[in-house]
C-alpha cells in the first residue's frame, strides 16, 4: 500500500518540499523521526539564543565597568578631579552596566526551558553547583537558576575589572606631577584598557559565530589572532613612546623608572590558561609592559571562558 503526501507547511518544508511516494510503513517511520527532530528544534534554538546572550552580555559588562573606572582614574591622574574612584559618576555607570547585564540575559534566555525553576541547565553549560571563582575573589554563589548566572557573571566580571584597575592604577605615583610622568600614566590606562577591550571583543565575536553555527572554530581563529597581535603591538609601541624617554623606546637608559611611574614590585602571580605565567619581579619599564600584557591576557581569557561554559570547561588556572 502506497501513500502520497505533499509537505507544504514551513516546518515540514525544511524536510521536503516535493511529494513523497513511500511504502506506508517507511513513511510512518520517517514522519515519526521528523516529528522528534522538529519538536526539539525550538528548544535547541532557545538554548543557542540564551548562550549567545550570556556570552555577549558578560563581555559587554566587563568592558563597560573597566571603562567607567578608567575615566574616573584618568581624571585623577590628569589632576582634573580630586575624587576617589569610583566616584559617583563612575558608580552610576557601573550600576547602569549591571542593570543592562541582567536585562540582556533575561531577554535572551526568558524563552529557554533551561532557565525554568528546577530545570537542568546542561544545554547552556551552567548545570553546575556554584559560580566558578575568578582568582580567589569569592564569586562562588550557588547556581540554581539563570538569575544566579547573572549574579555570577556580575560578581566575576566586576572583580575582573577591579583587578585590572588595581594593576594599572593601584600604585601610581601621583606625587610625580612632571608632565612626562603624567603622560606616561595616562597612556598606561588608555592603552591597557583598549587592549582589554580588543581582546574581549575578538573572543566574543568568534564564539558568537561558533554558537550560532556559522563557524566551527577554533576561537580565537586566525582573523582574531591577527587583530589581537596588532592591538598588542600598537599598545606596546604607544606605552614605550609615552614612557620610554626622549628616544621613545623601552629598554634604554632614559626610560621612566618604576618608582617614577608608580608600579608594584612584583607582577600578580597568575597564569594565562595554557600559556604564560605572569608572576615575577618588576624592575623596569619593559617589565611593566610585559606584566600588563600578561595580566590583561589572563583576565580576558578567564572572563571570556566563564561566559561560554557551554563550549568548554572553566580553566583551573582561573580560579
pLDDT (0 to 100) of residue 45 = 87
Q: Tell me the pLDDT band of 25, cut-offs 50, 70 and 90.
A: low
Q: What is the mean pLDDT of residues 88-96?
A: 97
* Residue 311 predicted with pLDDT over 50: yes
- For residues 199 and 228, the answer to whether their CB atoms sit within 8 Å is yes
- Mean per-residue pLDDT over the chain, rounded: 88
Q: Note the pLDDT of residue 9.
A: 40
**Taking 70 as the threshold, does the pLDDT of residue 279 lie above it?**
yes
DSSP type of residue 20: E
Percent of the chain predicted with pLDDT > 70: 87
Instruction: Give mean pLDDT, residues 261-280.
Output: 96
- pTM for this prediction: 0.85
Partners of residue 267 on adjacent β-strands = 280
Q: What are the helix and strand counts (H, E) for the chain?
A: 8, 4
Say how far apart CA 46 and CA 122 lie, in whole Å: 13
pLDDT of residue 21: 54
Cβ–Cβ under 8 Å, residues 235 and 194: yes
- The pLDDT value given to residue 43: 62
For residue 118, the enclosing domain spans: 2-318
Task: Using DSSP, state whether 312 is helix, strand or coil.
Answer: coil
**How many Å apart are CA 188 and CA 167, to the nearest integer?**
10
Q: What pLDDT, on the 0 to 100 scale, is given for residue 117?
A: 80
pLDDT in tens, 38-86: 444 566 789 999 999 999 999 999 999 999 999 999 999 999 998 999 9
Three-state SS for 171?
coil
Q: Number of structural domains, the chain?
A: 1
Q: pLDDT tens across 166-217, in order?
A: 999 999 999 999 999 999 999 999 999 999 999 999 999 999 999 999 999 8
Cell of 140: 562562588
Shortest CA distance to 302 belongs to which of 218, 165, 200, 181?
A: 200
Amino acid at each position: 500500500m502506497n501513500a502520497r503526501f505533499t509537505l507544504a507547511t514551513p516546518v515540514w518544508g525544511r524536510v521536503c518540499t516535493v511529494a513523497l511516494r513511500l511504502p506506508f510503513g517507511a513513511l510512518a517511520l520517517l514522519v515519526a523521526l521528523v516529528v522528534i527532530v522538529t519538536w526539539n528544534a525550538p528548544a535547541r534554538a532557545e538554548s543557542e539564543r540564551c548562550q549567545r546572550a550570556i556570552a555577549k552580555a558578560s563581555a559587554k559588562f566587563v568592558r563597560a565597568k573597566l571603562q567607567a573606572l578608567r575615566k574616573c582614574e584618568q581624571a585623577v591622574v590628569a589632576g582634573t578631579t580630586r575624587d576617589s574612584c569610583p566616584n559617583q559618576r563612575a558608580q552610576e555607570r557601573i550600576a547602569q552596566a549591571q542593570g543592562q547585564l541582567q536585562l540582556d540575559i533575561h531577554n535572551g534566555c526568558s524563552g529557554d526551558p533551561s532557565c525554568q525553576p528546577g530545570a537542568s541547565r546542561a544545554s547552556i553549560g551552567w548545570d553546575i553547583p556554584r559560580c566558578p571563582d575568578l582568582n580567589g575573589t569569592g564569586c562562588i554563589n550557588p547556581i540554581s537558576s539563570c538569575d544566579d548566572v547573572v549574579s555570577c557573571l556580575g560578581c566575576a566580571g566586576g572583580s575582573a575589572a577591579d583587578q585590572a584597575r588595581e594593576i594599572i592604577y593601584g600604585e601610581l605615583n601621583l606625587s610625580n606631577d612632571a608632565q612626562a610622568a603624567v603622560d606616561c600614566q595616562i597612556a598606561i590606562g588608555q592603552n591597557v584598557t583598549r587592549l582589554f577591550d580588543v581582546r574581549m571583543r575578538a573572543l566574543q565575536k568568534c564564539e558568537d559565530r561558533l554558537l550560532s553555527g556559522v563557524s566551527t572554530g577554533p576561537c580565537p581563529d586566525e582573523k582574531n589572532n591577527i587583530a589581537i597581535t596588532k592591538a598588542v603591538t600598537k599598545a606596546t609601541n604607544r606605552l614605550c613612546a609615552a614612557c620610554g624617554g626622549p628616544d621613545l623606546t623601552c629598554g634604554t637608559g632614559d626610560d621612566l623608572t618604576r618608582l617614577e611611574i608608580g608600579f608594584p614590585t612584583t607582577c600578580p602571580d597568575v597564569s594565562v590558561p595554557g600559556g604564560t605565567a605572569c608572576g615575577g619581579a618588576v624592575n623596569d619599564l619593559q617589565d611593566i609592559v610585559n606584566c600588563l600584557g600578561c595580566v590583561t591576557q589572563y583576565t580576558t581569557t578567564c572572563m571570556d571562558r566563564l561566559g561560554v561554559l557551554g563550549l568548554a570547561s572553566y580553566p583551573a588556572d582561573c580560579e
